[in-house]
Structure 1
Amino acid sequence: MPDRRLIANAVLFQLGWLACVLGGNSYWLAVPLVALLVHFFWTSSWAAEGKLVASVMLAGAALDSFLLQLGVLEFREQDTLIPLWLAVLWALLGTTLNHCLGWTAKPIWRAVILGAIGGPLSYLAGARLADVGLPLGTTSTLVLLGCIWALVMPVLHGFAHLYREQYRMQQLARKHRGDAS
């Protein structure tokens, strides 16, 4: 039987994704924010994953802002940085790396395949639902995003691994200090 927390993590991500894409920068952003809170209070903790979620959000916002500047993406009212809802989507993605998408970390080819296929499909669905333009055309954009995401997912899993190890070492150091007292 699958772990309830993995299922909850996947459901929270999907609900947050839909709210971001369909609601944009509206009161619907409360849904992914609640999903993030539930994640940190029930599925994980800020101490264990806060740095990962923040890093994924910042890296993803930078990547998508770069794609915006290159003319790969086009938002109606944004021309320099991506909209807030898309940055929040990146934070939600960060919550999945150690949980419902953890199985894609090793072997690395799983992350490459998931990125190459899932990344572009997510952008395509999001673009259609959120009225995001793809000025290079659908096929060219999907191929470009597939190549980018084949690299992005392994890098994000690298962040997750690094921060998990840092957290584990901190916990060991705390335990060691407690044992020495």
Structure 2
Amino acid sequence: MGLLLRLLRGRVPGAARGRRADAVDEAAVPRGPGRRPPRNRPRKCPRNSPRRCGCGGRVRWRPLILNIFGYDVAWFGCVVGAAFGYAWAGIALAAANVALHMRWSPVVRREAALVFGGALVGVSADALMVVTGVYEYRPRPDGLSLEFLALFFAMWASFGTTMRIAMRFAWRRPWAGALLGLLGGPLAYLAAAKIGTITLPEGAAMWRSLAVIGVVYGVLTPVWVEWARRMFSGTGRAA
């Protein structure tokens, strides 16, 4: 009996202390909707709440700024280079932008499919617009050429690098992607015409051409953005 009492005195207080320590640890973990999961637990984003895991709501400024800057430099390089007879220099600049983007992509295969698949659709749309007379590629006005196809494929691919980062704001806003394409597309082609890369018709025909370009971009841009959302939303690898 005395031995049993000694054992109880030695073990029960220790067990009680262990239970109290466990209770303190549990109390230290915040509960409720704002509770943070442990670091070693994988975080999954519910499809209807992209802001909880960073796949659609958390802004990371450095990747965003670099993404926009890289695309702008590639676009200006292609447009200005083609206007002054250095189209291949612009293509090389755009290729470098895409390569750097892929170098830091968390999911290279998915992003390559997104970027190059969308670029293939985009350059096909541009080729159709050239064939139907919506605009002319000034350095090679006699029709489609390898230079034209390579240049516009490179520009579309550079645009595709923005779908995961810079265009993420439109993932849940299809109207934003459509509006951006509807307005930004014609403005970009009008700027390219002013620089001397393409030639638009004169008079009222110019406005019809710009309207066609706006419709093309107004349709393709939100579709491309939705493709990116479906591909990256829920992976936690949006940026």
**TM-score normalised to the size of structure 2?**
0.64
* C-alpha distance in structure 1 between counterparts of 2:106 and 2:115, whole Å: 11
- Indicate whether 1:74 and 2:142 are aligned: no
1:88 counterpart (137, 141, 154): 154
- Indicate whether 1:100 and 2:166 are aligned: yes
- Indicate whether 1:150 and 2:218 are aligned: yes
Divergent runs of 4+, >4 A: none
Gaps in structure 2 of 5+ consecutive residues? 1-58
Contact 1:16/1:89 (CA < 8 Å) preserved in 2? yes
| CA distance 1:9–1:85, shift in 2 (3 Å) | same
Displacement after TM superposition at 1:147 (Å): 2.2
2:119 counterpart (50, 57, 62): 57
Which is richer in helix?
Answer: 1
Gaps in structure 1 of 5+ consecutive residues? 172-181
1:22 alignment partner in structure 2: 80
Displacement after TM superposition at 1:28 (Å): 3.3
**TM-score normalised to the size of structure 1?**
0.82
| CA distance 1:11–1:18, shift in 2 (3 Å) | same
Displacement after TM superposition at 1:43 (Å): 5.1
- Indicate whether 1:160 and 2:228 are aligned: yes
- Indicate whether 1:13 and 2:71 are aligned: yes
- SS of structure 2 residue aligned to 1:98: coil
How many matched pairs?
168
Q: Share of identical aligned residues, percent?
A: 26
Contact 1:5/1:43 (CA < 8 Å) preserved in 2? no
* C-alpha distance in structure 1 between counterparts of 2:79 and 2:163, whole Å: 20
1:38 counterpart (85, 100, 109): 100
* C-alpha distance in structure 2 between counterparts of 1:139 and 1:22, whole Å: 23
2:189 alignment partner in structure 1: 123
* C-alpha distance in structure 2 between counterparts of 1:63 and 1:98, whole Å: 22
Larger radius of gyration: 2
One-letter amino acid matched to 1:158: E
